C-alpha cells in the first residue's frame, strides 16, 4: 500500500518547492494552532508523568465509541475538502460545493457527538474536577471544538464563494487556505484521539 | 494512480487504521507493544494527511518539514513518556 502511495501521480496543483497551499496568512494561523496544541500536549505529558494512575484509569471511563466516531468525522471531513479542491481545479463548481456540504455534515456529526458525549460524561459523574486526566481531557477537547467552530464559519464563507463562482481552476486560494486549516484541525484530533481515548 | 484515486484509497486506509487501532486499544492489555503500535499508526496517519491531503509533498519544503516534524516528535514523546514517566516527573518536580 505504501509503495502505491509513494508512486502516485501528483495532484492537479502545480508542483513546486516554493508553492504554499492557500496563502502565507493561513499558515501563520495553522502554526499558531499547532503551537497551542503542542503546549496542551506538553501539559498532558507532564500530568501523565506525575499522575500515571489517573491516566490509566481515565480513558476506559470515556466513551471510546464517541471518540472513534469523531475521528471518522474528522478524517472524512478532511477527505471531503481535499475532493472539493480537486473539483474546483477541474472547474466543477457544483461538484466542489457538494463536497463542501459533506464537510458541513461531518461538522454537524462531530458537534452532535460531542454534545451527547459530554452529556454521557455528566450522567456518569465525570466532570473537569473528577481527576487530573479529565481536566486535561476537557481542556484538549474544548480547545479542539473551538477550532471546529471557527472552521465551520470558514466553511460557510468558502461554500458561498464556491456557489457564486468566485473560485476558478486558476484562482482558488481561499478554498485551498480553508482546506489547509481544516486538515490541520484534523491533524490535531489524530493526536488527541489516541492520547485520550486509546492509550492507557 | 490519479490524485483522486489516491485520496479515495487513503481515506479508506485511514478509516481502517482508526477502527483497528481502537479495537487494539480496547481489547489488548496495555503495554509497550500496544503503545508502539498506536504511536506508529498516529505518525503514519499524520504523514499521509500532511503529504497527500494537504499536498505538502509537492509544496514548500520548510512548511512540509515543520509539519512532518510535528508527527515525528509527538509520537516519540508519547512513547518516551510511557517509558520514562518517573524520570520526567522527578525532573519537573519543584
Q: How confident is the model at residue A12 (pLDDT cuts 50, 70, 90)?
A: low
Q: Which domain holds residue A140?
A: 22-198
- Output the domain CATH number for residue A57: 1.20.120.80
- A84 within a domain of the structure (yes/no): yes
Measured between CA atoms, the residue of chain A closest to residue B87 is A49
Q: How confident is the model at residue A13 (pLDDT cuts 50, 70, 90)?
A: low
- A10 within a domain of the structure (yes/no): no
> Mean pLDDT throughout A103-122?
97
Contact A12, A92 (CB under 8 A): no
Question: Across the interface, do A9 and B7 touch by the CB < 8 Å criterion?
Answer: no
pLDDT in tens, A152-167: 999 999 999 999 999 9
Classified as helix, coil or strand, A18 is coil
The string of DSSP letters for chain B reads: --HHHHHHHHHHHHHHHHHHHHHHHHHSPPSHHHHHHHHHHHHHHHHHIIIIIS-GGGS-HHHHHHHHHHHHHHHHHHHHHHHHHHHHHHHT--
Q: Which domain holds residue B70?
A: 3-91
Chain A residues whose beta carbon lies within 8 Å of the beta carbon of residue B43: none
Question: Across the interface, do A183 and B49 touch by the CB < 8 Å criterion?
Answer: yes
Nearest CB to B42: which of A21, A79, A190?
Answer: A190
Per-residue confidence of chain B (94 residues) as pLDDT tens digits? 899 999 999 999 999 999 999 999 999 988 999 999 999 999 999 999 999 999 999 999 999 999 999 999 999 999 999 999 999 999 999 8
The string of DSSP letters for A73-134 reads: HHHHHHHHHHHHHHHHHTT-HHHHHHHHHHHHHHHHHHHHHHHHHHHHHHHTT--TTS-HHH
- A95 within a domain of the structure (yes/no): yes
Domains: count for chain B: 1
> Mean pLDDT throughout A117-143?
96
Chain A residues whose beta carbon lies within 8 Å of the beta carbon of residue B10: 5, 79
Nearest CB to A191: which of B30, B74, B82?
Answer: B74
* Inter-chain contacts counted by CB atoms under 8 A, chains A and B: 155
Residue A16 pLDDT: 77
Q: Which single residue is written with the C-alpha cell 486499544? A: B25
Residue A18 pLDDT: 82
- A13 within a domain of the structure (yes/no): no
d(CA A6, CA A116): 40
Contact A148, A65 (CB under 8 A): no
Q: Provide the mean pLDDT of chain A.
A: 93
Residues 6+ apart with CB under 8 A from B40: B75
- A37 within a domain of the structure (yes/no): yes
Residue A2 scores a pLDDT above 50: no
Residue A129 scores a pLDDT above 80: yes
Measured between CA atoms, the residue of chain A closest to residue B35 is A199
Domains: count for chain A: 1
Residue A180 scores a pLDDT above 80: yes
In this predicted complex, what is the ipTM? 0.95
What are A144's three cell numbers?
A: 479542539
d(CA A166, CA A157): 11
Amino acid at each position: 500500500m505504501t509503495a502505491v502511495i509513494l508512486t502516485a501521480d501528483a495532484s492537479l496543483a502545480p508542483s513546486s518547492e516554493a508553492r504554499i497551499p492557500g496563502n502565507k496568512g493561513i499558515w501563520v494561523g495553522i502554526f499558531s494552532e499547532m503551537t497551542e496544541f503542542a503546549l496542551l500536549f506538553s501539559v498532558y505529558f507532564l500530568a501523565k508523568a506525575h499522575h500515571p494512575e489517573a491516566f490509566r484509569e481515565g480513558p476506559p471511563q470515556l466513551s471510546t465509541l464517541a471518540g472513534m466516531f469523531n475521528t471518522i468525522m474528522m478524517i472524512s471531513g478532511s477527505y471531503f475538502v481535499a475532493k472539493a479542491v480537486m473539483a474546483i481545479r477541474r472547474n466543477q463548481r457544483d461538484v466542489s460545493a457538494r463536497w463542501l456540504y459533506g464537510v458541513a455534515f461531518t461538522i454537524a456529526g462531530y458537534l452532535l457527538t460531542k454534545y451527547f458525549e459530554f452529556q454521557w460524561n455528566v450522567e456518569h459523574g465525570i466532570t473537569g474536577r473528577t481527576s487530573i486526566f479529565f481536566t486535561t481531557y476537557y481542556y484538549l477537547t474544548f480547545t479542539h471544538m473551538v477550532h471546529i467552530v471557527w472552521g465551520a464559519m470558514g466553511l460557510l464563507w468558502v461554500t458561498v464563494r464556491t456557489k457564486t463562482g468566485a473560485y476558478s481552476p486558476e484562482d482558488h486560494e481561499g478554498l485551498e487556505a480553508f482546506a489547509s486549516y481544516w486538515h490541520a484541525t484534523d491533524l490535531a484530533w489524530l493526536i488527541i484521539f489516541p492520547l485520550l481515548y486509546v492509550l492507557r | 494512480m490519479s490524485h483522486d484515486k489516491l485520496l479515495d484509497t487513503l481515506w479508506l486506509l485511514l478509516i481502517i487504521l482508526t477502527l483497528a487501532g481502537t479495537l487494539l486499544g480496547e481489547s489488548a492489555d496495555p503495554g509497550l507493544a500496544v503503545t508502539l503500535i498506536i504511536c506508529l499508526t498516529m505518525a503514519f496517519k499524520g504523514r499521509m494527511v500532511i503529504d497527500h491531503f494537504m499536498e505538502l509533498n509537492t509544496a514548500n519544503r520548510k512548511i512540509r518539514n515543520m509539519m512532518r516534524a510535528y508527527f515525528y516528535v509527538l509520537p516519540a514523546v508519547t512513547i518516551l513518556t510511557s517509558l520514562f514517566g518517573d524520570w520526567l516527573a522527578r525532573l519537573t518536580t519543584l
